[in-house]
Amino acid sequence: MNAFYMPTRVICGRGCVREQGALLDPLGRHALIVTGKSSSKNGALDDLLFALEANGQDGTVYDRVTPNPTVGCVREGLSLLRSAGCDFVVAIGGGSPMDAAKMIALLALQDREDEELFSGGYEPKALPMAHIPTTAGTGSEVTPYAILTNEEQTTKTSISSPAMFPRIAFLDGGYTDQLPEAITKNTAMDAFSHAAEGILSRNSIPLSDVLAKESLRLLYPLLTSLSKGMPTARERDELLYASMLAGMTIAQSGTTAIHGMGYYLTYFYGVDHGRANGLLLGEMLRLCERKNLPQLDEICTACGVSRAEEICALLSELLGEREKISEEELERFAVMAQKNKNIKKSRYEPSLEDLRVIYLRSFGYSC
Amino acid sequence: MNAFYMPTRVICGRGCVREQGALLDPLGRHALIVTGKSSSKNGALDDLLFALEANGQDGTVYDRVTPNPTVGCVREGLSLLRSAGCDFVVAIGGGSPMDAAKMIALLALQDREDEELFSGGYEPKALPMAHIPTTAGTGSEVTPYAILTNEEQTTKTSISSPAMFPRIAFLDGGYTDQLPEAITKNTAMDAFSHAAEGILSRNSIPLSDVLAKESLRLLYPLLTSLSKGMPTARERDELLYASMLAGMTIAQSGTTAIHGMGYYLTYFYGVDHGRANGLLLGEMLRLCERKNLPQLDEICTACGVSRAEEICALLSELLGEREKISEEELERFAVMAQKNKNIKKSRYEPSLEDLRVIYLRSFGYSC
């Protein structure tokens, strides 16, 4: 028994927000536009306002979303949505504005106390949303997940509801043209990790594997090219498309131990989310190779390489110098990560010792 | 600029209607069950009634859908829906019950005069639907199309509306276990044609090509196996899954000249729809090869063959002896088909002479 569900309408192409802006019309009359301070300074906000005006819709901007958004940020946006009388939500940005927007749209129709936010069991209803990604990595524009900083658990926690699938995703590679090198690389590694984790997930289905392999087939040469210099406009478009495919993948399969482990690097050391996945992925692939996981061969074949070592080398090239984190800290993360729900979603479920080895080797310690 | 939209939730696996029947609960309180005389005599109706009862929902059966459904049949079902007070629709069967169900669900919310049925411009609203395919070929369970017999135009005509995407498709290969050899082969050729036509369509997009290639990759060995004998249960499951992928493909790309030409064989000679496509597909592939269409190579690669001739030989094997249709009739069809809207959707748009050659050679005439 398996299920595939991907209700988001995906529009791809430069200029698509203006050209296909009429698709926003059925969503509501007044949009809360959820974005970060710089997330929309790439033409996306202008294009959106143009489209809303053409439809006779209003828009109120909430631009205070920070990286790794907090419950406080979601509350602030929700409060603005209510005072302005918004009836739909448009997100512009990377994963942070998109995830904050999802929680705002969800809570707008079913509010809860802060301490209940992470306990699940949401009703399948949320305000309608459109998402405009401005980085090529998160894939959040086509997933039902929102990941928020969870202070109580000292990590980031994913909240899932089918109601959080955006109605529409507008993919315009032009919004990513000016992204700096570090963000471009980190987000690309995030997308690559989503596609690889989709294949390594216990919850993968045949159709998520098809999407994951197509994503890897496109991403591997793009990452190789990124390791040599900044991408062309065409490569930007392909990165955005491939990251969306990886998002469609994890919308079915979920993520695995990599994401579960990476959240601690982000929470405690502020390591960028995509980079955190990139830092850990190589050692996870090596572990899968030692365990003779057949899915590892599928990943290699999709990438067009014969051994995982080639992928590890490429990731190292992209990562450059690694953060300095003490052995004690990494040992502590291994213990914490063991309880993370994503660990059990891995097809090969890493033991505490496996987690130790991955964390330590990922930061240059031999063990 | 391109768009992908596939909102149907697809549940795959034997026993899925009973196991996942709770998914029907949000659709309404009273289902019109649209099926054919024999379409549901395979356990599907029992399973559905079990699921409806578990949800406390009512069901009224309309089982008078005939192959190549007519406007009269849609009217009859609509009338029953109204008198019984149904608020959602469940289809059980091949393309005919599924397509009739779609039109009933559409017209229930926006009725029109018979002469306006084929003129398009429907509002995006229909009663919610679940579809349970009992043949592996049409893919209608994941498309926004309904194809009805169009007496005025002496052909079959496709009506399209995003509102006609079913909310849910339940794919249980067990319902196809008892299908006779001819239906099994004809429907499998229909699915194969959908996947190939998706690649040959002007409206293909990268993601529809991914789905089409995966469908062909699975279907080609299944068709080869079918040419030697009846499929195993596992092959039945794969046929149903691959035909669904081909449906997802044409939901994006539409069909092409093959379907446009095939409708005349069905309308005037009662040739089964899938068989009609199978009869014409070989000559269309040969034409594409003569025109050096790069998409032909993609089809061959996905099938794992080096030349289109191998696919043509397999189709001939499956088709067996061909119908006897006079040259004059085929010449007449070529003239009629030229005006069919599907012709212009082909990446290589066949001329009148091309259409003549395809029709004539498909029925053994040399020209």
pLDDT tens for A86-97 read 999 999 999 999
| Residue B168 and residue B211 in one domain | no
| C-alpha closest to that of A111 among A143, A77, A141, A144 | A77
Amino acid at B64: R
Chain A within 8 Å of B54 (Cβ-Cβ)? no
From A165, which residue of chain B is nearest by alpha-carbon distance?
Answer: B7
**Final residue belonging to a domain, choices B141, B176, B211:** B176
For residue B1, being part of any structural domain is answered with no
- Averages of pLDDT over runs of 10 residues in chain B (367 residues) are 96 98 98 91 95 98 94 96 98 97 98 92 96 97 95 88 98 97 98 98 98 98 97 98 98 96 94 97 97 97 97 98 97 95 93 97 95
Give me the pLDDT at residue A153, please: 83
Indicate yes or no: CB of A12 within 8 angstroms of CB of B1. yes
Most distant pair of Cα atoms in chain A: their distance: 63
Has residue A155 got a pLDDT over 90? no
Question: Is A300 in contact with A307 (CB distance < 8 Å)?
Answer: yes
Pairing of strands A2-12, B2-12: antiparallel
Whether residue A118 is found in the same domain as residue A229: no
Q: Are residues A158 and A92 in the same domain?
A: yes
Tell me, yes or no, whether A228 lies in a domain.
yes
- The verdict on a CB contact (< 8 Å) between A5 and B2 is no
Helix (H) or strand (E) holding B91: strand B88-93
DSSP state of B307: S
pLDDT at A255 over 90: yes
Of A62, A55, A60, the C-alpha closest to A85 is: A60
Total domains in chain A come to 2
Average pLDDT over residues A34-39: 90
Domain that holds residue A287: 181-362
Q: Do B3 and A19 touch (CB under 8 A)?
A: no
Q: What is the CATH number of the domain that holds A284?
A: 1.20.1090.10
Smallest CA-to-CA distance from A259 within A277, A232, A244 is with A277
pTM: 0.96
Nearest chain A residue to B168 by CA distance is A5
| pLDDT for A156 | 86
Query: Does any domain span residue A69?
Result: yes
pLDDT in tens, B249-300: 999 999 999 999 999 999 999 999 999 999 999 999 999 999 999 999 999 9
CB B258 within 8 A of CB B171: no
User: Taking a C-beta distance cutoff of 8 angstroms, is the pair A165, A220 a contact?
Assistant: no
Tell me the mean pLDDT in the region A179-200: 98
Asked if residue A204 and residue A159 are part of one domain, the reply reads no
Quick one: which of A225, A220, A241 has its CA closest to A176? A241
| Whole-number Å distance between alpha carbons of B188 and B186 | 5
The CATH number linked to A67 is 3.40.50.1970
Say if the Cβ atoms of A207 and B6 lie within 8 Å: no
B42 SS3 class? coil
Phi and psi of B241, rounded to 5°? -65, -45
Are B237 and B135 in a shared domain? no
Confidence (pLDDT) at A352: 97
ipTM: 0.94
The reply to whether A168 and A186 lie within a common domain is no
| Residues 6+ away with beta carbon under 8 Å from A58 | A29, A30, A31, A52
- What 3-state class would DSSP assign to B279? helix
Q: In 3-state terms, what secondary structure has residue B71? A: helix
The tens digit of pLDDT for each residue in B235-245 reads: 999 999 999 99
Identify the residue among A24, A25, A210 best suited for mutation to test binding to B, counting B beta carbons within 10 A and taking the highest. A210
Shared domain for B277 and B142, answered yes or no, is: no
Q: Under DSSP, is residue B151 helix (H, G, I), strand (E, B) or coil?
A: coil
Contacts of residue A248, defined as CB under 8 A and 6 or more positions apart, other chains included, come to A6, A139, A142, A143, A208, A211
CA distance A192 to A278: 8
Is the pLDDT assigned to residue A71 strictly greater than 90? yes
Residue A127 confidence (pLDDT): 98
pLDDT of residue A39: 78
Residue B331, domain member (yes or no): yes
**B16/A contact by beta carbon, under 8 A:** yes
Is the pLDDT confidence value at A151 over 90? Answer: no
Cα–Cα distance measured from residue B146 to residue A289, given in angstroms and rounded to the nearest whole number: 49
Interface of A with B in 266-285 (CB under 8 A): none
Containing H/E element for B159?
A: strand B155-160
- Same domain assignment for residues B157 and B206: no
Q: Determine contact, residues B163/B126, Cβ cutoff 8 Å.
A: yes
Residues A198 and A168 both lie in one domain: no
A214 and A110, same structural domain?
no
Q: Note whether residue A1 is domain-resident.
A: no
Cβ(A322)–Cβ(A288) below 8 Å: no
Q: Within this chain, do residues A218 and A258 fall inside the same structural domain, yes or no?
A: yes
Name chain A contacts of B15, Cβ cutoff 8 Å.
1
* Distance from C-alpha of B267 to C-alpha of B245, rounded to nearest angstrom: 27
C-alpha to C-alpha distance for B187 and B208, rounded to whole angstroms: 20
Which residues in A lie closer than 8 A to residue B124 (C-beta atoms)?
26
Beta carbons of B241 and A20 less than 8 Å apart: no
Region label for B123, one of left (φ > 0), alpha (ψ between -120 and 50) or beta (otherwise) = beta
Task: Determine whether the interchain pair A210/B211 forms a contact, defined as Cβ–Cβ distance below 8 Å.
Answer: yes
Contacts B211 to A, Cβ<8 Å: 210
- pLDDT for B156 equals 86
Give the three-class secondary structure for B16: helix
Q: Determine the distance in angstroms separating the CA of B143 from the nearest CA of chain A, rounded to an integer.
A: 13
- Judge whether A3 lies within some domain: no
Residue at which a domain ends, from A110, A143, A176: A176
- Give the closest residue to A32 by CA, choosing from A77, A108, A89: A89
| Per-residue pLDDT at A208 exceeds 90 | yes
Please count the residue pairs, one from chain A and one from chain B, whose beta carbons lie less than 8 angstroms apart.
61
* Rounded-to-integer distance, Cα B193 and Cα B215, Å: 10
Put simply, whether A1 touches B (Cβ < 8 Å) is yes
Domain boundary among B143, B176, B209: B176
- At residue B41, the pLDDT reads 82
Query: Any residues with CB less than 8 A from the CB of A326 and at least 6 apart, and which?
Result: none
List pLDDT tens digits, range A269-324.
999 999 999 999 999 999 999 999 999 999 999 999 999 999 999 999 999 999 99
How high is the mean pLDDT of chain A?
A: 96
Q: SS3 sequence, chain A?
A: CEEEEEEEEEEECCCHHHHCHHHHHHHCCEEEEEEECCCCCCCHHHHHHHHHHHCCCEEEEEEEECCCCCHHHHHHHHHHHHHHCCCEEEEEECHHHHHHHHHHHHHCCCCCCHHHCCCCCCCCCCCCEEEEECCCCCCHHHCCEEEEEECCCCEEEEEECHHHCCCEEEECHHHHCCCCHHHHHHHHHHHHHHHHHHHHECCCCHHHHHHHHHHHHHHHHHHHHHCCCCCCHHHHHHHHHHHHHHHHHHHHHCCCHHHHHHHHHHHHHCCCHHHHHHHHHHHHHHHHHHCCCHHHHHHHHHHCCCCHHHHHHHHHHHHCCCCCCCHHHHHHHHHHHCCCCCHHHECCCCCHHHHHHHHHHHCCCCC
Would residue B2 count as lying in a domain?
A: no
pLDDT digits (tens, 9 = 90+) for A107-147: 999 999 998 999 999 999 999 999 999 999 999 999 999 99
Q: Does B312 touch chain A (CB under 8 A)?
A: no
Structure tokens at B357: 């050659």
**A167 and A193 together in one domain:** no
Option in A1, A7, A11 nearest B3 (CB): A11
The alpha carbon dihedral of B120, B132, B268, B275 has a sign of positive
**How crowded is the C-beta side of A46, counted as CA atoms within 13 Å?**
6
Residue A41 has what pLDDT? 82
Residues of B in contact with A5 (CB under 8 A): 9-10
